[in-house]
Amino acid sequence: MNPPFPFYSSLPNKAELDIYHTHPHCKVALGIEASARVMGMGEGKRECPFCYLLGEFKSGRRVGESPTEPQARSSTGARAFSTADSSGAGTY
């Protein structure tokens, strides 16, 4: 059985040195042996980007949206974006 989340790896793998894991379905997290897992977020570590994206997907929010203020969407449901300069030209 896997230990609970969050955790970080105690192994000196350069790619995983500065991250902690929060999602049980993260492929990176699942690749870390249970014996190498240290409970907690670790000082100065950031959340694994894959765990973050999995968490955003599960919450139903789109990445970058505030949980209280969804971004404007077009009639097709896609997020509106802008390449506008100060005059406002270029909004899509």
Question: Which of 29, 31, 35 lies closest to 6, judged by CA?
Answer: 29
Mean model confidence pLDDT for the chain = 74
Distance CA 5, CA 37 (A): 10
Instruction: List, for residues 18-49, the tens digit of each pLDDT value.
Output: 899 999 999 999 988 888 899 999 999 999 99
Residues 75, 77, 78, 84, CA torsion sign: positive
Both tokens of 35, joined, read 């014996």
Q: Whole-prediction pTM value?
A: 0.58
How crowded is the C-beta side of 24, counted as CA atoms within 13 Å?
5
